[in-house]
A and B are shown apart, each in its own frame.
Chain A
Amino acid sequence: MTDWDRTASQIRRAEEARRRIRIRTEPVLPVITAPPTGNGAALQEHAVVFDIRNMTVFYGASRALAGASLKIYRNQVTAVIGPSGCGKSTFIRSLNRMNDSIPGFRIEGEVLYHGHDLYGARANRVEVRRRIGMVFQKPNPFPKSIYDNIAWASRNLGMKDRLDERVEQALRQAALWDEVKDRLKDSALSLSGGQQQRLCIARAIAIEPDVLLLDEPASALDPVATASIEDLMHNLKHRFTIVIVTHNMQQAARVADRTAFFSLDTTGPARVGTLIEYGDTETIFRSAADPRTRDYVAGKFG
């Protein structure tokens, strides 16, 4: 065994130990075991949620992302990794039309959500976001109370029945309930960064969307807060389809079922974000087909 292998195996064992300790010492989350019934019952687990065909995005005249084609599956965590400026955020923000408000934004190709064209003439932007929620890189709680942060969207959407219970459930799912249950009326801005980010996740899931998009949700957080967010992913994917952008490869390896690697295509005159490889996380990290993917996950560039 080389030194490198020994170090790697030590890190792996430490990681596993950390997980075991967390499971024993932390209050157990109400684990969601089955995919939802009711409206979603007709859907198979691992049905195709997004079918993205040749997605090309322009900001003005410059191309930010070229020809990405991939399918995102139900009840899985799909990670998007890659170096800075490779179009990761552009990609994920195009999945719930957050880019629409950026001047000069233009998209080509097709984004099918459960078979419906996300950018079609009949698709309503507000409806799209009601089904596909998003959590941003920087925690952005409203300057309202903790309770009102969670309840605000539900009230607006007319989901006012048993609102207290809804707020509690959302906070429990986001593993924040025990820390805030005695001060729901306090300002959300009094929470720590990690708590604020979990509040934002609770806020996003309180209206029970179908998909959760997370744009580098842990990059502004410390390792403990990051670990708690990652633990959440494992639980939440039983109910939601999750797409997470991260520039932390270990994070992708820990949370994701499938991983998409984006990089910059420097063959032409302009630097354009490109999907290099997409597959099971295991495959991407152990035996990637493309040498650029292998270099990136081995930490040789980016």
Chain B
Amino acid sequence: MSATSETAFFDTMPFDPTAPLTPSGNLRRRAAVSRTVQVSATVAALFAVAVLVIVLFGVAKRGAAALSLSFIFENPSGLASGGIFNAIIGTVEIVIAGALIALPLGILTGLYLTEFSGARSRTARLLKLALDMMAGLPTIVVGLFVYGLIVIPQHRESGFAGAVALSIVMLPIMARTSQEVLLLVPNSLREAADALGVSRWRTVLSVIIPAATAGIVTGAILATARAAGETAPLLICNSLYAQDSTSLNLFHGVPSISMFIYQSYDLPLPDAVTRAWGAAFVLMMLILIANIGARLLLARSRAKMRR
């Protein structure tokens, strides 16, 4: 060895081991840098929460005058009085219908990508690209597409057409989040199940999916929340002229909260604007309640899994 004429490594100690355990070497500087980054990350996180709080607070403040039990539990009467009960029910109907289409399709797509397509499948790669492009599709384009596909042949704007449009919005979110969380399930579980001679489908159903439930539920919440507030496709596919009474028939126009907000905000009445804010607050609360509910269910099923 040529360089060993200088002091060789490991012959000397780079520090005095008997010194007190206070920072030595460049640790003081490194600790300062570390603290700076930690503080920035904390501030950024607080900022994100602050934005949410400001939005919630702003909406609640402006809509407070409209909020009452009758606003939630009564149908509208006239232009700017009564409640939005019909719109709440309508939104729930449309979102559930859309989710019934998109969630199974999305989860199955995620399963195809992780469990059935094989690691180097070209189809799977194309599919992922397509899903990413689909997620970036402007929702008004989705609305126009469904208008051509369903509304024109039927000669009728309907809640169902709106639900189909929303399912197209939800599908890529659901598929990609399912895929991501299924990828996190350790391969050793798949091998363990394979080694017991169980078919892939049973393995997927009773080992893989339970292990990934938390993530799949989170994906479903994200997708539904996104769809619940969606307005553009509904304006195109769903009838604006069916907003006054409760409608349980999805194949006719169905009222919805987002459309109610859109309409009310445009009315030249101060009361109507306040009611739009109130409806916006109700919509946010609905999403929040669904979110908390799903998480509670999840926590319960998780508690059972623990030993």
Contacts and interface: CB of A to CB of B under 8 A. Distances in A.
Interface string A121-158: 01110111011000000000000000000000000111
A114 interface: yes
B9 A169 contact: yes
A156 B10 contact: no
A210 B19 CA distance: 12
A165 B3 contact: yes
A159 interface: yes
Contacts of A114: 17-18
Contact of B17 (A43, A120, A165, A239): A43
Interface residues of A, number: 38
Q: Interface residues of A: mostly helix, strand, loop or mixed?
A: loop
Given A116-B21, A131-B15, A162 B3 contact: yes
B21 A123 contact: yes
Given A36-B12, A126-B31, A169-B8, A42 B3 contact: no
Nearest to B12: A38
Interface stretch (B22-30, B184-192, B253-261): B22-30
A159 B14 CA distance: 9
Contacts of B13: 36, 38-40, 208, 210
A199 B18 CA distance: 28
Contacts of A205: 10
A210 B11 CA distance: 12
Contacts of B25: 130, 157-158
A287 B183 CA distance: 53
Given A39-B12, A169-B10, A115 B18 contact: yes
B266 interface: no
Contact of B26 (A115, A116, A158, A166): A158
A118 B21 contact: yes
B20 A116 contact: yes
A23 interface: no
Contacts of A250: none
A165 B9 contact: yes
Interface in A221-255: 239
B10 A36 contact: yes
A101 interface: no
A158 to B, nearest CB: 4
Interface in A84-117: 113-116
Contacts of B14: 39, 159, 207-208
A76 interface: no
Contacts of A2: none
A169 B27 CA distance: 24
Interface string A189-211: 00000000000000001011010
Given A126-B31, A127-B23, A159-B14, 13 more contacts: A36-B12, A37-B12, A42-B18, A43-B18, A120-B21, A122-B21, A123-B22, A127-B22, A127-B27, A131-B21, A162-B6, A169-B9, A173-B10
20 contacts: A38-B13, A39-B13, A39-B14, A39-B17, A42-B18, A43-B17, A116-B20, A123-B21, A123-B22, A124-B23, A126-B23, A126-B27, A126-B31, A127-B24, A127-B27, A157-B26, A166-B9, A169-B8, A207-B14, A208-B13
Interface of B: 3, 6, 8-18, 20-27, 30-31
